[in-house]
């Protein structure tokens, strides 16, 4: 049976982006949040994002109206009734996610696939609280969801081949290119990206090159669209430190040691763009 309706739990940055992409692809969407204000904000973000697409001639006014009409906002999990796929995209905290997954499990149809957009929590661990852990999978979207082409699909130890195949088919329905990774800290993309950024910070710390030269080097020498230190500022240095810490502890391997300069910057409150200063200045 193909998926006609999607539930999205969490109406924040990622949740409303996922809801938008599903609605534009012609699916009914129930977007849920614990906070009524977050639901209202999430719906408003979808509306203005679709409006922008219309202004850029990427969507017709009629398609915008139809997509908006397909999204409902709720604080009640009963809205998940009839959803063939439910994607959890709430706050990155294991306790919160485990609680939400139990609530989803109660409200979901027996044959629904349940997915999480977590970027760092074990898919295998989250699956273990569900009645049918074989129906659980990681769907790691990238920010901003409507712009980014990739969907990283993560199989937990319990994920069935059927759940995996249906998830790949769904990625195609919503116009994303999927790659598959096995459950492991950072999955595949962040496992490569974040240690590279950490290495760029070591390179700066050791005085091998200036921040500008490191970024220019990686842009012009490796064709990256943005240098690693500028990307660090965009992601947030506190977030990067937390991810490196997960690798360091998760693998028990000193090769994932966070750069001391990264710790130092976070301790100083230089978190990147969001604080106005990181490896570059954003005054």
* Residues annotated in a binding site: 10-15, 33, 49, 56, 92, 97, 119, 143, 274
140 counts as catalytic: yes
Q: What values do phi and psi take at 10, rounded to 5?
A: 110, 120
List Cβ neighbours of 220 (8 Å cut-off, separation of 6 or more). none
Residue from 7, 15, 156, 186 touching ligand NAD (CB under 6 A): that is: 15
Residue from 3, 22, 28, 33 touching ligand NAD (CB under 6 A): that is: 33
Is 112 an interacting residue with respect to ligand NAD (CB under 6 A)? Answer: no
Site residues for ligand NAD, 76-105, by CB under 6 A, read 89-92, 96, 100
Is 233 an interacting residue with respect to ligand NAD (CB under 6 A)? Answer: no
164 counts as catalytic: no
Q: Cα 232–235–241 angle (5° rounding)?
A: 70
**Between 8 and 266, CB nearer to ligand NAD:** 8
Catalytic residue among 140, 164, 183, 198: 140
Burial class (CB in 10 A: 0-12, 13-18, 19+), 57: exposed
The distance from CA 192 to its chain's CA centroid, rounded to whole angstroms, is: 16
183 counts as catalytic: no
Contact 17, 65 (CB under 8 A): no
Is 43 an interacting residue with respect to ligand NAD (CB under 6 A)? Answer: no
Minimum CB–partner distance for residue 212 and ligand NAD (Å): 25
Contact 89, 9 (CB under 8 A): yes
Is 119 an interacting residue with respect to ligand NAD (CB under 6 A)? Answer: yes
Q: Which residue has the tokens 């193909």?
A: 2
- The pair of structure tokens assigned to 82 is 């009839």
Which residues does residue 272 pair with via DSSP β-bridges, in sequence order? 277
Is 231 an interacting residue with respect to ligand NAD (CB under 6 A)? Answer: no
List Cβ neighbours of 70 (8 Å cut-off, separation of 6 or more). 23, 26, 27, 28, 29
Contact 18, 12 (CB under 8 A): no
Chain residue at closest Cβ approach to ligand NAD: 12
Q: Which residue has the tokens 């993309």?
A: 189
Minimum CB–partner distance for residue 28 and ligand NAD (Å): 19
**Which of 4-12, 54-62, 65-73, 261-269 is the region at the interface with ligand NAD (rule: CB under 6 A)?**
4-12
List Cβ neighbours of 157 (8 Å cut-off, separation of 6 or more). 124, 127, 183
**How many residues line the site for ligand NAD (CB under 6 A)?**
23
Catalytic residue among 16, 88, 117, 119: 119
Minimum CB–partner distance for residue 21 and ligand NAD (Å): 13
Minimum CB–partner distance for residue 230 and ligand NAD (Å): 16
Write out the catalytic residue numbers.
Answer: 119, 140, 152, 190
**Where do contacts with ligand NAD occur on this chain (CB under 6 A)?**
9-15, 32-35, 38, 89-92, 96, 100, 117-119, 141, 143
């Amino acid at each position: 049976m193909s998926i006609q309706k999607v539930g999205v739990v969490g109406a924040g940055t990622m949740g409303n982006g996922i809801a938008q992409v599903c609605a534009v692809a012609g699916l009914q969407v129930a977007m849920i949040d614990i906070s009524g204000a977050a639901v209202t904000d999430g719906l408003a973000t979808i509306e203005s994002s679709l409006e922008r697409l219309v202004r850029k001639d990427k969507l017709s006014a009629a398609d915008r109206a139809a997509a908006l009409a397909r999204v409902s906002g709720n604080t009640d999990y009963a809205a998940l009734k009839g959803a063939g796929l439910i994607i959890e995209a709430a706050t990155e905290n294991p306790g919160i996610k485990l609680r939400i997954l139990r609530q989803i499990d109660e409200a979901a149809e027996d044959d629904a696939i349940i997915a999480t957009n977590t970027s760092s929590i074990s898919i295998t661990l989250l699956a273990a609280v569900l009645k049918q852990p074989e129906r659980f999978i990681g769907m790691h979207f990238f920010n901003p969801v409507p712009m980014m082409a990739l969907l990283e699909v993560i199989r937990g130890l319990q994920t069935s081949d059927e759940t995996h195949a249906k998830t790949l088919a769904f990625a195609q329905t919503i116009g994303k290119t999927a790659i598959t990774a096995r459950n492991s800290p950072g999955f595949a993309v962040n496992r490569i990206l974040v240690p590279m950024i950490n290495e760029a910070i070591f390179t700066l710390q050791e005085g091998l090159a200036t921040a500008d030269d490191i970024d220019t080097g990686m842009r012009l020498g490796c064709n990256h669209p943005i240098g690693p230190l500028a990307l660090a500022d965009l992601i947030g240095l506190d977030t990067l430190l937390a991810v490196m810490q997960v690798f360091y502890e998760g693998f028990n391997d000193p090769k994932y040691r966070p750069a001391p300069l990264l710790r130092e910057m976070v301790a100083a409150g230089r978190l990147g763009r969001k604080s106005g200063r990181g490896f570059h200045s954003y005054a």
